[in-house]
A and B are shown apart, each in its own frame.
Chain A
Amino acid sequence: MAAISSVLSAPAPKHDKLKALGILALNGMFDEMDAEAVLRQAVDELLPGDIAMVSSFGADSAVLLHLVSLVDKNLPVYFLETGKHFVETLDYVETLKQRLGLTNVIALYPDSADLARFDPDGTLWETDPDSCCHIRKTEPLEDVLSGYGGWVTGRKRFQTAERGVLPHFELTSDDRIKVNPLAYFTNEDVEAYKARHDLPEHPLYGEGYKSIGCAPCTSAVAEGEDPRAGRWRGRDKRECGIHFDFNGSIAKPVSQSSLHLFKDGAFKADPWKAWAEGDEPADVRYTHVPVSVFVEHRAAFLASPHPIGLQVNPGEKVEDIEGDLARFSSVAINFRAFTDGRGYSSARLLRERFGYEGELRAVGDVLTDQIPFMRRCGIDAFVVTNKATREALEKDALAEVPLYYQPIGERHEVPAGTRPFLRRPE
């Protein structure tokens, strides 16, 4: 496949000096909502003639394309013609081109040899959606992208859990720049922008499709549901791959140089953040809200459509939120100090007594020696900053005695019979 060689032979990075200047500084230059200024800075000042964008021409693509039309109608706009789009999407490409006067929309097609080899009957999306995306999106883009110093994306913080920390400007690991003018736009902001500029709606939007990709992998979402919930529904997949950088990991701002969330056997990007002073109960999303704060603003949190999590600090009682547990898609148990064992009891109560089934993570002073205990108490994700612990997790070499004397709940345990206490006659 052509893409491999393009990685190996990638030209020397052209933007070292920008890296030196500091993407961070760039990110502080613009008002969060001033998308047009961000885009103008990128197109006119930062990378004139050396930047392009990719658009899915989906449900909310119109906003960014409208901004492009204000800044530079001739900016290269690539559209991934995967061959799997809704007819309505293809119509919509034409509608927007006409309406916005875009003069440089370029369709990209998958490599026909790849299709013949890997997806001869067109059903790869069903068996292996990652590979399907790879052939139809990642590969066709790679050749094109290597010709640009940067590209514009329409990604927004609220869209998926993994995008929670998205800035305006990002440096990818191969020294390209990703520009995200809409990073801080909420769903409501998008709607307001569309209304203000009277932008045409994707034909399927009115039918409940809030985030639109290829036809087989897109379904409608219910009222109040995460807009991207309809993408790859029922599968453990959130991103199509094209927002991952060329080394395969998620492109991230330089300030977030390492990943701290260990879950399902690997360190991964963490969409969640902790509740901070000044946060608004009605607005926060992907935020772990302390029990005390939740109890105080319970009505506002319950009314909010956004995904929220719960943080259980030492001394807080999980009994206080027992009836609202279904509201949380993640619960963080705060182990404020290595020696503070209250969290183990909280974890067991959540799992064993209240039947909480979602992500249960340990945050705070999390060290290798505690993790086996935490797992037995039902914790399944760990936010780790300690270097030795990180290495132990990566090597799967925790300090652990893998034999258990006492029964703990029903989850994550070895079969009952291996423990003397439960070695009952059959």
Chain B
Amino acid sequence: MYRYDEFDAAFVNERVAQFSDQVRRRIAGELTEDQFRPLRLMNGLYLQLHAYMLRVAVPYGTLSSKQMRMLGHIARKYDRGYGHFTTRQNIQYNWPKLRDIPAILAHLASVEMHAIQTSGNCIRNVTTDQFAGAAADEIIDPRPVAEIIRQWSSIHPEFTFLPRKFKIAITGAPNDRAAVKFHDIGLMAQTNGAGDVGWAVYVGGGLGRTPMVGKLINGFVPHEHLLAYLESILRVYNRYGRRDNKYKARIKILVHEEGLENIKGQVEDEFSHIRGGVLTLPDAELDRINSYFAQPAYVDHGVVSVDVEREKILDPAYGRFLENNTFPHARSGYTSITVSLKPIGGAPGDATAEQMEAVADIAEKYSFDELRVTHEQNLVLPHVAIADLRAVYDALGEAGLADANAGEITDMITCPGLDFCALANARSIPIAQDISRRFAAPERAKEIGKLKIKISGCINACGHHHVGHIGILGVEKKGTELYQITVGGDGTEDAAVGKILGPGFVADEVPGAIERLVDAYIARRTTEDETFIAAYRRLGDAPFKEALYGNG
């Protein structure tokens, strides 16, 4: 993991001191809320429906045990005993008091964390594959480059007042688990003809009210020129992105309106000026950062195998856990474990202070002190020895974290919705809870297989509903919360935006509607191995439309 040096520490401390003073001035009445607003937004502090919300950055979703414990401590001491992990791999606290913010930030700084650029129209936290540095299918560990992008983008003087927020995602694996094509810039590791690894750059992806799949702007940018290329894109966006309409200000609209070729021309022209300049990344610097992300000291356990089928008979819950919540590791004898934050009937992404502390202890003992936050609002223990699996499962179980539903229908992404968010039109969490209860039976979930449901409480799409195999969008019509259902979205390398098949449903009808979609799929799939999304692609809208609305 990256470790702060003196510079990083001083940088964060300066920022804490600066913001603490701004908070003090706000409390003392020296600043009005209007004046305070842009300042607090630069530090991740939102004013929500009921209280301030503090969003803490988890750069590229990587945490140490110590950091996770601190997040737990903050939840207990300054919030209501829990925190909410987000689709940006961050954590949000929903009930902090303004006067406590400086203390919270100081606590965070003590474990090399902060809230810088978790909001505002700037370059946000860089996100990546939750299995980065562990996954068997990886071409390159994306975290060192993510860290370099973090440094480059931190309080960038030219790009702090962009037309709109700007999100970068990066993946080192061909199987995209970071939804890079739905980010303002998506980076995918690529090998060129000479065998060198560089980056395919996608631009103009996004969700929100105008979902767009990112377009390939450059098929291969070498490491050393990546920052210059990013700066070129950002400069073109900063200068020409629309500022007349908040809803048309993301780079996806610029790319859409001007055309990819036009934008590519401008970016390449800018790149031709700055390429090879001061942003050129020397190998030595990449090596220096790389060294922070060295492989942990894996132990050779010999051939260790777990007979999943046998475990399923002996202990069905554990068997399901092995089936759903493990992920192939690059190192034999190891696996990555997804810790589900989607208990049946719970609020997706929430973890209590005790759970954070428990998972921190488990990571310390069994995962080389490392944890990840996933964009699907779960946690990951990236490096668990297969020999330790049972012990880890039992320890998770004690903390109420052994739900074996990773990747199943109840592993939903859900935004905070109208229960918390000032922007929302409808509740999201209760809908997720209803669906979760409807499909609570493990056998039923297993029968359905891999199916991603994603729920947003408004058009801003924080719950990524556009890329849900089944997406649910809460809207408000004539004082009633209605839920539009989309089908066929996909956030992976086979990126697709889901399609609305008809009118919305009231809240009570949603679980039933989902069930009808699921039944239609099961009835028509070729084999048990054909997933929902694969069946949808083969079958088209018709059967699903009929399932939702009948054939009248």
Could you tell me which A residues sit within 8 Å of B by CB distance? 314, 338-342, 344-346, 348, 353, 369-370, 372-374, 376-377, 388, 399-410, 418-425
Mask, B3-28, CB within 8 Å of A = 1, is: 00101101100110010011000000
CB distance from A290 to the nearest CB of B (A): 17
Interchain Cβ contacts within 8 Å, total number:
95
Q: Flag whether B160 is at the interface (Cβ < 8 A).
A: yes
Q: Is B161 in the interface zone, CB < 8 Å from A?
A: yes
Q: Do residues A401 and B158 form an inter-chain contact, with CB atoms below 8 A? A: no
Q: How far apart are the CA atoms of A373 and B279 in the complex, in Å?
A: 18
- Please give me the 6 A-B residue pairs with the lowest Cβ-Cβ distance, nearest first: A341-B161, A373-B157, A376-B157, A407-B278, A344-B158, A405-B151
B239 within 8 Å of A (CB atoms): yes
Whether B549 sits at the interface, judged by CB under 8 Å, is no
Residues of B within 8 A of A (CB): 5, 7-8, 10-11, 14-15, 18, 21-22, 35, 38-39, 42, 121, 148, 151-162, 235, 238-239, 243, 273, 278-279, 282, 284-285, 288
Which residues of the other chain, A, contact B152 by a CB distance below 8 angstroms? 405-406, 421
| Interfacial chain B residues near A339, Cβ < 8 Å | 38, 121, 161
Q: A344-B157, A401-B11 are in contact. List 17 more A-B contacts (CB 8 A).
A: A314-B243, A338-B38, A342-B243, A344-B159, A370-B161, A373-B157, A400-B18, A401-B14, A405-B151, A406-B152, A406-B153, A407-B278, A407-B279, A421-B148, A422-B278, A423-B285, A424-B284
Decide if A345 touches B158 in the complex (CB within 8 Å): yes
Q: Is the CB of A424 within 8 A of B285?
A: yes
Which chain A residues lie closer than 8 Å to B288 at the CB level?
423
Tell me if B11 and A399 are in contact (CB < 8 A): no
Q: Bound state CA distance, A418 and B7, in angstroms?
A: 8
Pick the contact of A420 from B42, B151, B235, B279 — CB < 8 Å? B151
Q: Which residues on the B side are within 8 Å of A373 (C-beta)?
A: 157-158, 160
Q: Which of B14, B153, B238 contacts A341 (CB 8 A)?
A: B238
Shortest distance in angstroms between A295's beta carbon and chain B's nearest beta carbon? 17
Residues of A within 8 A of B5 (CB): 420
Whether the Cβ atoms of B15 and A421 lie closer than 8 Å is no
Would you call A345 and B238 a contact (CB within 8 A)? yes
Instruction: Give the docked Cα–Cα distance between A406 and B160 (Å).
Output: 13
| Other-chain contact of B154, A344, A399, A405, A418 (Cβ < 8 Å) | A405
Chain A residues positioned under 8 Å from B285 (CB to CB)? 421, 423-424
Q: How far is the CA of A424 from the CA of B224 in the complex (A)?
A: 14
Q: Enumerate chain A residues within 8 angstroms of B159, measured Cβ to Cβ.
A: 341, 344
Query: Do A406 and B156 touch across chains, with their CB atoms under 8 A apart?
Result: yes
CA distance A240 to B39 in the complex (A): 44
Q: Using CB atoms, name the residue of chain B closest to A372.
A: B157
- B161 near A338 with CB under 8 A, answer yes
- Are A341 and B160 in contact, CB atoms less than 8 angstroms apart? yes
A227 to B148, CA, bound (A): 54
Known: A373-B160, A407-B278. A419 touches B7 (CB 8 A): yes
Chain B's closest residue to A336 (CB) is B243
Q: Flag if B158 contacts A408 (CB, 8 Å).
A: yes
CA distance A64 to B433 in the complex (A): 89
What's the nearest-Cβ distance from chain B to residue A301, in Å?
24
- Complex alpha-carbon distance, A197 and B402, angstroms: 102
Give, as a whole number of angstroms, the nearest-CB distance from A298 to chain B. Answer: 22
Chain A residues whose CB sits within 8 angstroms of the CB of B35 once the complex forms: 388
Task: Please tell me if the beta carbons of A399 and B161 are within 8 angstroms of each other in the complex.
Answer: no
CB-based contact B243/A340 at 8 Å: yes
User: Roughly how many angstroms separate A406 CA and B149 CA in the complex, as a whole number?
Assistant: 10
Minimum CB distance partner of B121 in chain A: A339
- With both beta carbons as reference points, the residue of chain B lying nearest to A314 in the complex is identified as B243
Q: How far is the CB of B551 from chain A (nearest CB, A)?
A: 51
Closest to A353 in B: B273
Per the bound structure, the CA–CA distance linking A353 and B158 in Å amounts to: 15
Question: Separation in Å of the A12 CB from the closest CB of chain B?
Answer: 39
Q: How far is the CA of A353 from the CA of B232 in the complex (A)?
A: 13
The answer to whether A408 touches B38, judged by C-beta atoms less than 8 angstroms apart, is no
Complex: chain B residue closest to A403, CB-CB:
B11
Task: Name the distance in Å between B2's Cβ and chain A's nearest Cβ.
Answer: 11
A132–B243 alpha-carbon span in the complex (Å) = 54
Give the residues in chain B near A341, CB-CB below 8 Å.
Answer: 121, 158-162, 238
Residues of B within 8 A of A404 (CB): 155
List the B side residues contacting A372 at CB < 8 Å. Answer: 157
> Do residues A403 and B38 form an inter-chain contact, with CB atoms below 8 A?
no
Taking a contact as CB atoms under 8 Å apart, the answer to whether A342 and B11 are in contact is no
A159: min CB distance to chain B, Å: 38
Question: Could you tell me the distance in whole angstroms from the C-beta of B451 to the nearest C-beta in chain A?
Answer: 41
Which B residue's beta carbon lies closest to that of A421? B151
Give A388 to B30 CA distance when docked, in angstroms: 10
Chain B residue nearest in CB terms to A420: B7
Give CA–CA (A388, B18) in the complex, Å. Answer: 15
